[in-house]
């Protein structure tokens, strides 16, 4: 039971005006953060964070509140807490509408998007939620490899991991793989924690977390921001590298070369008279569309198109959506598919036939086929992925394009996205199509589901602990000179002596 400050109970009902911090960027939206279980310090930090990003946060609950956000409370708990604080039932907060009662996941997603994301069922508080204090695991028992942990998509430490991921990205832009991996590993450990880290002291015991990362965590918990990350984000180099590497077909080295040659924006690239690859040319041509996240609904429409094309040639073809969507993401930068059939002979020429057919129907804006080049996994890195693959850009017909992905119902977003409205009746979507022989399917499924860090950790574990090499073709025992067959992903985990991790917990 939490004591209720007498002072607040006595306070008269405040008018909406004196409740609101300076008007924010999102008129009509007003957040109230529930202090119960969140604690005053964290509530203060989250309030400051939201205000910096232009959100209005009410210091006290009132009729003006549109989004009630709480952490680790059930709906019942929040409603009765509000009732005790305000002396009236929480559901009847407004005359026309009740506010949304939301989990912190809505808040963290909105903060990272820089705008209020639309409210979905998964954000809404449910009746009963497990009490958090009991699952505060002993930090010293955290497993060292990402593939030994469960890492859900929505987790409790996004404020910290967002910053660590900025530092990781900046390290990769500076060509330091070691530092990139250090920040990524620390972020991954935090994503797997079943509770929010609340003090720097707790961070002391975290595995895979070096001195630099701990200092960053301390700074975020104490000051609410990390100066190093803020400076990096504001730097010209970081911004240019992020912009250039977001172009399809452009890696860190190419981006760095362009930066060194003086390019600072997309227009500058034209001035440099660059020798672009076909891929990069397509990436630049469809840049605006490809920057927009692909929604799950759009991914489903793409799946229908791909399935239809493949079934023209092999009616009982098997197709699986992999990548981020298989891990439960609601949006992604592309859509990944794995294609297989129990009779390998049906796969010969299939991808080319299906792609040519889709091309003839005007469904493709770009495609690049890579032939199968089976590279057995003999090195401890696991070798290259050698499946037959088509890297494509689809023209998803407008009837299939979801409108207004980002709006919160009834909340204006200040018209900031108006210029992104495309003038054509399709939208460009990046798609990866991968064909695998049936015997390699479990390995390909495991390899193409990700996350990238989960895959890296799985391969590292396999080599360090089992002296086996793993890639998306198979598992190889160099000593016995044999490949280990598997009929499912579960088989592979079992063989490696790992507990099975479902795709939704592979967001390492």
Q: So which residues are the catalytic ones? A: 334, 336, 432
- What tokens were used for 219? 């700074």
Does position 388 interact with Mn ion (CB under 5 A)? The reply is no
In this complex, which beta carbon is closest to ligand CTP, that of residue 99 or of residue 447? 447
Q: How far, in Å, CA of 15 to CA of 12, rounded?
A: 9
334 binds Mn ion (CB under 5 A): yes
Q: b or e along 460-496 (b: 16 or more beta carbons within 10 Å of the residue's beta carbon)?
A: bbbbeeeebbbbbbbbbeeeeeebbebeebebbbebb
C-beta closer to Mn ion: residue 324 or 447: 324
User: Looking at 281, 333, 368, 372, which residue binds ligand CTP (CB under 6 A)?
Assistant: 333
Among 165, 289, 336, 489, binds Mn ion (CB under 5 A): 336
CA 153 to chain centre: 7
**Considering beta carbons, is residue 228 or 432 the nearer one to Mn ion?**
432
- Terminal CA-CA length for the chain: 35
Contact set for Mn ion, span 405-444 (CB under 5 A): 432
Measure the CA–CA gap between 460 and 468, rounded to whole angstroms.
Answer: 10
**CA separation for the pair 215, 209 (Å, rounded):** 10
The stretch near ligand CTP (CB under 6 A) out of 40-48, 102-110, 402-410, 448-456 is 448-456
Residue ranges in 452-491 that form contacts with ligand CTP under rule CB under 6 A? 452, 455, 472
Q: Give the interface segment with ligand CTP, choosing from 203-211, 302-310, 406-414, 444-452 (CB under 6 A).
A: 444-452
Output the DSSP codes for 169-225. Answer: HHHHHTT-HHHHHHHHHHHHHHHH-SS----HHHHTT-TT--HHHHHHHHHHHHHSS
Distances (CA, A) of 90 to 53, 75, 93, 191: 27, 10, 6, 32
Nearer of residues 26 and 448 to ligand CTP, judged by Cβ: 448
Tell the smallest beta-carbon distance from residue 185 to Mn ion (Å). 21
CA-derived radius of gyration, the chain: 25
Subset of 286-325 contacting ligand CTP (CB under 6 A):
323-324
Shortest separation between residue 55's beta carbon and Mn ion, angstroms: 30
- When asked if residue 442 is in the footprint of ligand CTP (CB under 6 A), the reply is no
Smallest distance, Å, CB 506 to ligand CTP? 9
Out of 196, 323, 377, 386, name the contact with Mn ion by CB under 5 A: 323
Among 90, 450, 474, 503, binds ligand CTP (CB under 6 A): 450
Interface pick for ligand CTP out of 64, 382, 447, 503 (rule CB under 6 A): 447
Q: Which is nearer to ligand CTP, 401 or 446 (CB)?
A: 446
Q: Closest Cα to residue 226, out of 181, 167, 156, 175? A: 167
For residues 106 and 119, the answer to whether their CB atoms sit within 8 Å is: yes
User: How far apart are CB 392 and ligand CTP at their closest, in Å?
Assistant: 13
Q: Which one, 90 or 332, has the nearer CB to ligand CTP?
A: 332
Taking a C-beta distance cutoff of 8 angstroms, is the pair 438, 340 a contact?
yes
- The answer to whether residue 448 forms part of the interface with ligand CTP (CB under 6 A) is yes
Residue nearest to Mn ion (CB): 323
Q: Which residues contact 304 (CB under 8 A, 6 or more apart)?
A: none
C-beta atoms surrounding 506 within 10 Å: 26
Taking the least distance from each CB to ligand CTP, the nearer of 173 and 454 is 454
In the complex, minimum distance from the CB of residue 368 to ligand CTP, in angstroms, rounded to a whole number: 12
| Distance between CA atoms of residues 208 and 143, nearest Å | 10
308: tokens are 């239809």
Options 99, 332, 442, 474; binder of ligand CTP; rule CB under 6 A: 332
Closest CA to 446 of 399, 497, 389, 488: 488
The residues in 373-412 that bind ligand CTP, with binding defined as CB under 6 A, are: 385
Q: Which tokens sit at 337?
A: 């598919």
Binding partner of residue 450 among Mn ion, ligand CTP, none, CB under 5 to 8 Å per kind? Answer: ligand CTP
Q: Kindly list the distances between the CA atom of residue 98 and the CA atoms of 29, 68, 211, in Å, as whole numbers in the listed order.
A: 13, 10, 46
329's contact among ligand CTP, Mn ion, none, with CB below 5 to 8 A by partner kind, is: ligand CTP
The alpha carbon of residue 129 and the mean position of all alpha carbons in its chain are separated, in whole angstroms, by: 24
Q: Which residues bind Mn ion (CB under 5 A)?
A: 323-324, 332, 334, 336, 432
Q: Which residues bind ligand CTP (CB under 6 A)?
A: 323-324, 329, 332-334, 336, 385, 447-448, 450-452, 455, 472
């Amino acid at each position: 039971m939490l004591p209720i400050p007498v002072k607040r109970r006595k306070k008269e009902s405040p008018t909406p005006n004196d409740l609101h911090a300076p008007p924010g960027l999102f008129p009509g939206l007003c957040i109230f953060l529930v202090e119960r279980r969140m604690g005053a310090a964290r509530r203060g930090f989250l309030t400051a964070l939201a205000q910096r990003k232009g959100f209005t946060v009410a210091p006290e609950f009132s009729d003006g509140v549109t989004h009630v956000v709480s952490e680790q409370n059930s709906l019942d708990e929040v409603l009765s807490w509000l009732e005790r604080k305000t002396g009236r039932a929480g559901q009847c907060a407004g005359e026309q509408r009740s506010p949304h009662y939301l989990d912190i996941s809505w808040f963290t997603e909105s903060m990272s998007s820089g705008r209020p994301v639309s409210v979905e069922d998964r954000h809404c508080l449910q009746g009963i939620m497990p009490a958090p204090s009991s699952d505060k695991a002993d930090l010293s028992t955290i497993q060292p490899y990402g593939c030994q942990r469960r890492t859900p998509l929505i987790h409790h430490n996004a404020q910290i991991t967002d910053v660590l991921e900025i530092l990781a990205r900046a390290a990769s832009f500076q060509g330091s793989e070691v530092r990139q991996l250090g920040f990524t590993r620390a972020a991954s450990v935090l994503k797997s924690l079943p509770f929010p880290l609340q003090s720097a002291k707790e961070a002391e015991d975290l595995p895979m977390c070096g001195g630099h990362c701990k200092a960053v965590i301390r700074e975020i918990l104490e000051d609410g921001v990390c100066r190093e990350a803020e400076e990096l984000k504001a730097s010209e180099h970081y911004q240019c590298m992020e912009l250039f590497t977001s172009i399809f077909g452009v890696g860190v080295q190419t981006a760095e070369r362009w930066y060194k040659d003086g390019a600072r924006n997309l227009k500058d690239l034209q001035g440099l008279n660059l020798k672009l690859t076909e891929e990069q040319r397509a990436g630049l041509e469809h840049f605006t569309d490809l920057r927009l996240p692909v929604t799950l609904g759009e991914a489903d429409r793409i799946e229908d198109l791909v399935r239809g094309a493949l079934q023209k040639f092999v009616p009982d073809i098997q197709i699986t959506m992999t990548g981020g969507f298989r891990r439960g993401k609601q949006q992604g930068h592309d859509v990944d598919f794995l294609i297989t059939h129990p009779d390998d002979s049906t796969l010969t020429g299939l991808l080319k036939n299906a792609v040519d057919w889709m091309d003839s129907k005007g469904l493709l804006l770009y495609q690049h086929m890579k032939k199968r080049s089976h590279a057995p996994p003999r090195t401890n890195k696991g070798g290259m992925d050698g499946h037959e693959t088509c890297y494509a850009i689809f023209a998803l017909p407008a009837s299939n394009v979801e409108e207004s992905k980002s709006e919160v119902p009834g909340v204006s977003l200040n018209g900031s996205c108006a210029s992104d409205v495309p003038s054509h009746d399709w939208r460009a979507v990046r798609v990866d199509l991968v064909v695998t022989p049936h015997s390699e399917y479990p390995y390909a499924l495991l390899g193409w589901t990700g996350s990238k860090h989960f895959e890296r950790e799985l391969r590292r574990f396999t080599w360090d602990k089992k002296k086996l090499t793993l890639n998306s073709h198979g598992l190889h025992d160099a000593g016995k000179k044999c490949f280990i067959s598997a009929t499912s992903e579960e088989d592979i985990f079992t063989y490696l002596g790992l507990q099975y991790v479902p795709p939704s917990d592979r967001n390492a």
